[in-house]
Structure 1
Amino acid sequence: MSGLDAGYRRCAELTRRYGTTYYWGAMLLPTRQRRDVYSVYALCRLTDDIVDEPERVDLAVPQDGTPAERLDAFRRLFFSALGSGEAPDQVMAAIVDSIRRRGTDPECFERFFDAMALDLSTDTWPTWEGLRDGYMEGSAAVIGEMMLPVLEPISDEARGPARALGHAFQLTNFLRDVDEDLDRGRVYLPQADLARHGADPWLRRVTPQWRAMMAEQIERNRALYAEAMTGLPLLPPPSRRCVGTALVLYSRILERIEARDYDVFSGRVRVPGSEKLGVVARTLTVGLPLPRLA
């Protein structure tokens, strides 16, 4: 096995371990596209871990210094490798090979690293618009842009729905991971929305105010998924199945949050692996099961 092949295999392992929804969705793609999905995910995962899980040290990232110093070093390492085509390890070699081959705009990664750096200095966001435009632009919408060259859309109009899907996925993460984010001292729910409903996540209790606030956020989230779905016809069939499957599986997290009466404090809400496998199997045999978006 070549070093590059080993790097792509490691990217796939990272996706399978930490991004199961992306992993299962990508299984519906041809191998040449699948490994590029894994490489994008691996870059995002490794970067995010520097900020959110600094104790989880991967050999593919700088290991010395504070999270801010490690993030800056990884950013410089990435852009150096992207510019030269030469990487110091197998994982970065695969990531750079994928990005250069797909012709992804390097500016996407500038926005991405800028957003990751914000996690080290900002722990609350005043409004939805501020959160969306100040943080999620580089941490979520840009992920959709990174994936587009891999998905080979048939129209440039796919960019808007791809960005909406990035927003939708991340807002779902914010709603699911409230408790974990509190442990890190962060609140990714707009402060204005919390104040308007009188909801306090730091209580870590489901109250009438919390239910009302969460119901409003889920309605916003489903509107983003609905916008993202308009991009499915703009993708070739394999990419449509991949993205559609990920969309269906992620949107089911919202249903499970509702089924738990908006309790995101007593354990992470998960879609079981058997259900993920069932959606993939159904997509391959009878077509994509559409999510509930209203």
Structure 2
Amino acid sequence: MTDPLQFVTAVLSSAGVAAALLAVAAWLAREWIGNRLSGRIRHEYDAKLAELNARLKLQGESTAMNLKAEVDRLSERRRQSAQALSEVQKATIERRLLAVEEVWAATVTAQKAMPSVFVFLDVLLDKEYPEAINNPKTGPELKAVDAFQIIEEALAKNASVVKRRPFVGNYLWVLYSTYQSTLFRMIYLVSQCEEKPEKLFWFSDSLIRRYIQAALGDELLKEFESLNISRVTWVHSQFTKAMLEAMDSLVAGHEYGEATIHQAKRMEALLLESAARRQG
């Protein structure tokens, strides 16, 4: 017969093993359930992450396509605008060049309108001017100068150049007009020398000097006043130089400075004053 103490010990030992087994089973159950839950959660997370990545990829591709389409549209619009602007600029430049050519042609016409007797006068000193009236060669030429006919013919030839004014700017236009007015004034004064010999001294005329001052400035006016020969050549040279410089700036697209704009206003005011005086 078994000893009761041994039996109790055996029972307790058996109970301890069972409890341990139960504890192990409970732990294993928790681990298994935890792993199942963790696996399921991880699977769901991975699935949702994959779905999100796929969705983002599609959205990214769609956004990229939309952005590319917008960029292409803007590029095409910019290209069309640049092309249209280029065509407008090209047309404007062509009209400007044509206008400059016509203004220059009109300037040459005004120069050619000068009677040939001015070539002779240009080599005379001041004290020799009075002799030109009685000279058997230059006298008849001076008396034959018909200022009104000469000026009318020159203006008729240059009538079309007025249409080009918008394309040459105000400065070049009033400079050309002042030069032309100076030449016409010289012709008119010389044409009056038979009745008024003092008119032969055209370079002493106050309006001539005001034209020079307005167009060329004070320093060049002083230079003109200091001359005693070749004044006609000087007028042609200085005005031509100023016009060519203005044409170069215009063709190059340079903006005129404040001094040039102010100078243009002075010339324009003088031209208006002269026109009002003629009409009065």
Instruction: Select the structure of larger CA radius of gyration.
Output: 2
Which of the pair is proportionally richer in helix? 2
| TM-score of the two chains, using structure 2 as the length reference | 0.27
TM-score normalised to structure 1 length: 0.26
